[in-house]
């Protein structure tokens, strides 16, 4: 049930996103489109409640509950960012909005961007670890919580790997290609 609900929440996210953007830009109903986009967190609330009910009804804590926690953490950290990113692209493509800003490609600006993205991943991991810890406490000493603890480690490992990658942009920043007189004329 939990895996199906995770898939339903993910599909629901994209359906609500498409419906909200269609209302905003195709139908010209900006407020109604924004209201539809604001319904998206309800999907995560449903998943959270369903996971808690599943555990309360005696389900053995396993990988499905851990995956639900990671999905919720990712949505908290990256959900708004994803919506804003897609909204900018749709506004530019279909509503004559300005082109969306691209992330910086070089130097300290790129390192700062990667650090901000890592902080999002760290937030997602923290949310997942906290939800998993609440599940461990909820199940108590009588249940096997080893799977939930493994998912906590998985969340921290993902944040650590992303942190190392983000750090490489600071330690070895990509340099902007040198512009020569001949290449300026070719542009």
pLDDT in tens, 68-87: 999 999 999 999 999 999 99
Residue 56's pLDDT is 82
| pLDDT of 173 above 80 | yes
Report DSSP letters for 9-25, one per residue: HHHHHHHHHHHHHIIII
What is the CB neighbour count within 10 angstroms for residue 107? 13
Average pLDDT of 171-183? Answer: 81
Phi and psi of 179, rounded to 5°?
Answer: -100, 120
pTM of the model: 0.86
Give the C-alpha separation, 183 to 156, whole Å. 45
The answer to whether the beta carbons of residues 109 and 43 sit under 8 Å apart is no
Least confident of 2-11, 29-38, 89-98, 178-187: 178-187
Give the C-alpha separation, 70 to 162, whole Å. 15
């Amino acid at each position: 049930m939990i895996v199906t609900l995770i898939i339903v929440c993910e599909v629901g996210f994209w359906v609500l996103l498409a419906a909200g953007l269609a209302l905003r830009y195709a139908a010209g109903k900006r407020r109604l489109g924004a209201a539809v986009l604001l319904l998206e967190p309800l999907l995560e609330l449903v998943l959270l409640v369903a996971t808690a009910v599943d555990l309360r009804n005696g389900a053995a804590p396993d990988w499905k509950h851990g995956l639900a926690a990671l999905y919720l953490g990712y949505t908290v950290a990256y959900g708004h960012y994803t919506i804003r990113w897609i909204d900018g692209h749709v506004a530019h493509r279909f509503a004559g909005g300005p082109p969306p800003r691209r992330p910086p490609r070089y130097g300290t600006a790129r390192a700062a961007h990667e650090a901000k993205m890592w902080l999002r991943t760290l937030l997602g991991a923290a949310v997942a670890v906290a939800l998993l810890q609440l599940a461990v406490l909820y199940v108590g000493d009588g249940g096997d919580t080893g799977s939930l603890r493994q998912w906590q480690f998985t969340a921290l490992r993902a944040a650590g790997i992303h942190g190392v990658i983000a750090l490489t942009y600071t330690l070895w920043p990509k340099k902007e290609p040198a512009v020569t007189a001949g290449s300026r004329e070719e542009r």
